[in-house]
Structure 1
Amino acid sequence: MIMKNINEKVYLFLCLITFFLFFLQGEVQSHSIQEKGNKCHKRSNAWICKTDIANLDSSVTNKQQNVAKRISETVAVMTYNIYGARPNGIQNIEEIAKVITQVNPDLVALQEVDKYTQRNAHIGDVAKRLAEITGMHYFFSKAIDFDGGEYGDAVLSKLPIKGTKSYMLGTTPELPGENRSVARVTVEKGGTEFYFISTHFDHLNKETNRVKQARDFVNILKKLDKPVIVGGDLNDVPDSKTISILREHLLFGDRNDLNSFTFPTSTPSQTIDYLMYFPNSAFRINLYRVYTPASITSDHFPVIAIFKINSK
């Protein structure tokens, strides 16, 4: 009996010693972890270290930076003839603005833009009003005086406009036609400064005027000292002489597949609206599309594209 009591006491003593040693080991480990700059804490019986959190945060931050870099290296553009020349003017400019905001481009080339004409007296300065609704910067370039005001082309830009310039495209003296304009802005994205242009060639049936305007436009482009993206209603089809002249200097954004009709929206049968660029080393096309959901705001569909800006 005495021996049994002694054995029980020895057993209890050994248990206490074992528990004490286990506890002491845990404290030493805890102290060791805390000594590493107090970088760890216990959560749900697991040690979470600040170094691990920092690595996780760094991974998330790197992913965010990569996404931001990809965004900064692309530019979304649109060209859109807004049918400002319709006889009764633009009835609902908010619907045109809605098309633009739905696509959410960085840059928009606008054609048929009125400024204080009688037919659009209820709007006044069309480019300015669209800029106000969409929250973008704008630049208007007059082609002709018309209907008590001005008529021409414009650019809308999310990017700060660093410079502007207007050019005129004339017609041949022996043929009736309309002088047209070129609206050029200087912008910067992804560390690259480039030009964005809106233009609109003569709409009359005589190709002679458009051929002249194409040649004059190419001469303008040859003098530019930066990469350029062009959006325009050229009033001519892909296999025309007008387009062949432009191809000598410009690359067409749809990789030369010009089979998507842009006009008229009621019964699409022609491709006359384009996005172009130069040089090939400056940009790469990620997407090119005729935006057919915009079927009631104009007689032209907008054309949209996403360009990757190639780093220098």
Structure 2
Amino acid sequence: MKKQLSIILLLCTSILFSCLAQKKSTGKKADVLKVMSYNVHHCNPPAKPGVIDIDAIAAVINEVKPDIVGLQEIDVKTGRSGKDINQAQELAKKTGMNFFFGKAIDHDGGEYGVALLSKYPVSETQVYHLTSLPEIKGEPRVLITAKLTLPSGRVIRFGNTHLDAERDPANRMAQIKEINAIAEKEVLPFVITGDFNAYPESDIVKEMDVVFTRTCQTCKPTIPADKPSRSIDFIGYGKKHSVMVRGHEVIAAPEASDHLPVAAVLELKAD
């Protein structure tokens, strides 16, 4: 009798562990993605006034091998960069990625703004025109967002921006509050990149930190590219979802733009 009970218990235990192992193997895995933020200075190397070198920017991106890129200071069919050149489209071709461009202003016979590159399918693109206070003569700025579908089938929201550069921080504060409000309404995991024109200790970045977690807390400088001393370029993710930063780095690429790009590897935990 005892022998029969032992056999039954052994069978039950084997079945239990088999079920647990099967459940674990069929469970959702975390998604890992490499995100890059890059102010490209309309593809004009700072040491070469008037020269447009899209290949130099593409080479930096291809070296980093990101899954998603937020680009700031992009020209589309401007006089200074080429009336037949869409820089976002050209960079997409040279990196093998999808793209979306959002115009901030008309400039030099064309358009100027921000863009995204993505290895993943892009949908539901949107351009948000951010506040520019009338008493501050700031350049109009935008936030672009898009839905990106990862290989696992998971969907995230990606945003990219370039905040006002005026000495008075009022525009930047209004703009980051608008971005935070948009992100707080989002139900999908939200990843943001941008040139925030604000230092880590500033009130603007502190406001950003209310809704987003930046991928660096002790952030290495990103400007000027040749002798970096200040950090104003950041990557962040919304606090609503479980995300782990596997790595963050400032890329040593001092010749292609006046900013150094930043990159981070994010692990989005399974729901």
TM-score interval, normalised by the smaller of the two chains: 0.7 to 0.9
Q: Which of 99, 102, 110 matches 2:71?
A: 110
Counterpart mapping for 1:145-164 below 5 A: 145-164=106-125
Partner in structure 2 of residue 306 of structure 1:
265
Partner in structure 1 of residue 249 of structure 2:
289
Counterpart mapping for 1:254-269 below 5 A: 254=216, 256-258=217-219, 260-269=220-229
Q: In the aligned structure 1, how far is the partner of 2:124 from the partner of 2:133?
A: 30
Counterpart mapping for 1:101-250 below 5 A: 101-121=62-82, 124-189=85-150, 190-250=152-212
Determine helix, strand or coil for the equivalent of 1:159.
coil
Partner in structure 2 of residue 73 of structure 1:
31
Q: In the aligned structure 2, how far is the partner of 1:306 from the partner of 1:203?
A: 28
Matched, 1:95 2:56: yes
Partner in structure 2 of residue 278 of structure 1:
238
How far is the alpha carbon of 1:224 from its aligned partner? 1.6
* Greater helix content: 1
How far is the alpha carbon of 1:156 from its aligned partner? 0.3
**Residues matched between the structures, number:** 241
Partner in structure 2 of residue 30 of structure 1:
none
Q: Is the 8 A contact 1:170 1:178 kept in 2?
A: no
Partner in structure 1 of residue 10 of structure 2:
none
RMSD of the TM alignment (CA)? 1.9
Partner in structure 1 of residue 213 of structure 2:
251
Q: In the aligned structure 2, how far is the partner of 1:90 from the partner of 1:149?
A: 17
Q: In the aligned structure 1, how far is the partner of 2:103 from the partner of 2:43?
A: 14
How far is the alpha carbon of 1:123 from its aligned partner? 6.0
Q: Which protein has the larger Cα radius of gyration, Structure 1 or Structure 2? A: 1
Q: Is the 8 A contact 2:225 2:257 kept in 1?
A: yes
Deviations 1:255-308 (A, max 9, x none): x222x001111221100000000125332110111112x110001000001101
Partner in structure 1 of residue 6 of structure 2:
none
Letter in structure 1 aligned against 2:244: R
Identical counterparts, % of pairs: 35
Q: In the aligned structure 1, how far is the partner of 2:159 from the partner of 2:179?
A: 11
Deviations 1:143-201 (A, max 9, x none): 11111111110000011113211111121111110111111111122332111111000
Q: TM-score, normalised by structure 1?
A: 0.73
Letter in structure 2 aligned against 1:204: E
How far is the alpha carbon of 1:225 from its aligned partner? 2.1
RCO (CA 8 Å, sep 6+): is it higher in 1 or 2? 2
Q: In the aligned structure 2, how far is the partner of 1:235 from the partner of 1:262?
A: 11
Q: In the aligned structure 2, how far is the partner of 1:89 from the partner of 1:123?
A: 16
Consecutive unaligned residues of structure 1, counting only runs of 5 or more, are 1-65
Deviations 1:107-150 (A, max 9, x none): 00000011111111166110001001111100000111111111
Q: TM-score, normalised by structure 2?
A: 0.84
